[in-house]
Every structure is written in structure tokens, then in C-alpha cells.
Structure 1
């Protein structure tokens, strides 16, 4: 009985998480593009600044580069885990469950790591609306991905 209830919940969580990961990838892609276009430009005769960071973002604060980078990684792994989850929800057999559960667990761990950087970015303040949206989606997605992992194991 519990397996049938979980079977009806899993597709809803998959669609919700897919949409949220896609939004994270869109905003994260924008932030990465902006950082590449407006980052440090060092000529061949110029020297790097004393406190140069290769993860420099012209918007946000000191945690923004780490937050965006790990959110992009979590988003790509999350989309991949959702593809495995769609395959599992289609057949719903024990042979496909291990792939869906393990990839979902890895995606959740990376999302929680990105959420930690989101909290640090919130603590440091000084960010724009898009980064605030990205932070909110990362925090919400860490909870919904955990519910999805629990539904797979339940």
C-alpha cells in the first residue's frame, strides 16, 4: 500500500524538481555569463591583483562565485537524476530503483552544498534580485529533493 502511495507522489516531485533545477540552471547560466563578460581583464603586461580570485563575480558578494558554481553543478546532476527517476517511475521495478535512488542522493548532497553557500551569501548581503531568487530556489529544492529521496526509499 505504501509503495502505491509513493508511486503516485514520485512523478509530481520529479516534475517539480525538474522545473526548479531548470530555473536554477537558467539563472546560474546568466550569472556565469555575466561574470565571464564583466570579470577581470588582464593584459599580457599587467600583473594580477594581490587578492585575485579566479571565482570573481561582478555582482553579489564574496560567496557568489562559489554559490553559482556549485549550484550549476548541482543543477546538472539534478537534471540527470531526474532522468533516471523518470525511467524508474515508468517501470517501477527494483532493478531501476537503485540507479534512481543513488543519483537522487548525490544530487541532493550537491544541492545541500550549494544551499550552504546560499546561506553564506545571504549572511554577507549585497546581492541582486536574481541571486536572491536563486538562493530561494536552492533552499526550497534541497527540501523537495530530500522528500523525493525519501519517497524512493519509502
Structure 2
């Protein structure tokens, strides 16, 4: 009885996390696309400006570039861990638990890294509403991903 309840809790958190990771990927992808479209273009023989970054972000602050890259990585790995979790909750094998738990822990670690950069971006100010959305979702995902890992492990006991 308790196993089935934990399985339904894990599945609910998993679906929530999957939706949130998709939103993070879409919004961070928009920011990266905007940065690529507004990249500094120079002619042959013209040097790049001194404070040039490989990816120039026309919005946000100094932490935006790092945050967006790590949010995209965390979003993709988190989405993949959700798919692995869905497969495990459907099949319920020993090997499935190991792969789902390791993928979920990896995604949680990357989400924590992105969350630290989100806090730095919040501290520096000067960002738009879409960046605030990505920051909020990454911070919320750092908590819900941990809850998912705990529910996943408890659903197997």
C-alpha cells in the first residue's frame, strides 16, 4: 500500500519536473538564440572589442551567459532523467531503479549548479521577465528534483 502511494507521489513529481524542465529548456533556448542573433560581427582584420564574450547576451547581467548555458544543460539532462524515471515507474525492475536514480541525481546536481548561478544573477539585478522565469523555475526545480529522488528511492522499498 505504501509502495503504491510513493509510486504515485513519485509519478506526480516526475510529471511536474518534466513540464518544468521543458519550460526551462524553451526559455533558456530563446535567450541563447537571441544572444546568437545579436552576436558582434566584425570584418576581416578588425579586432574584437576587449570585453568580448563568445556568446554576447544583450539582456541580463554578467552572470546571464553562464546561467543560460548551465540552465540548458540542466534542462536537457533533467528531461532525460524524467524519461528514465517514467520508464522505471512503468517497468519496475532493479536495473531500472539504478539508472533512474543515477540520472535523477546527476540532473539534481546540474540543477543545483544552475541554481547557484541563478542566485548570482538575481544578486546582480538588471534582467528581463523571461530570465526571471528561468531563474524561478531552476530554483523550484532544485527542490522538486530532490523530492523526486527521495520519492523514487522510497517507492522501491
Per the normalisation by structure 1, the TM-score is 0.96
Aligned residue-pair number: 154
By relative contact order (CA 8 Å, sep 6+), the higher-ranking structure is 2
Alignment match, 1:130: 130
Q: Distance in 2 between matches of 1:141 and 1:90?
A: 23
Shift of 1:92: 1.8
Alpha carbons 1:55, 1:66 under 8 Å: kept: no
Alignment of 1:40-119 (within 5 A): 40-119=40-119
Query: Which residue of 2 is the match for residue 28 of structure 1?
Result: 28
The 8 Å contact of residues 17 and 145 in structure 1, kept in 2 or not, is answered as: yes
**Structure 2 residue ranges without an equivalent (≥5):** none
Q: Distance in 2 between matches of 1:78 and 1:104?
A: 7
1:28-68 deviation per Cα after TM superposition (whole angstroms, max 9, x unaligned):
11000000001211221210112222232110000000000
The CA distance in 1 between the partners of 2:55 and 2:113, in whole Å, is 17
Once superposed, what is the RMSD of the aligned Cα atoms? 1.1
CA distance in structure 2 between the partners assigned to 1:70 and 1:109 by the alignment:
11
1:11 deviates by 1.1
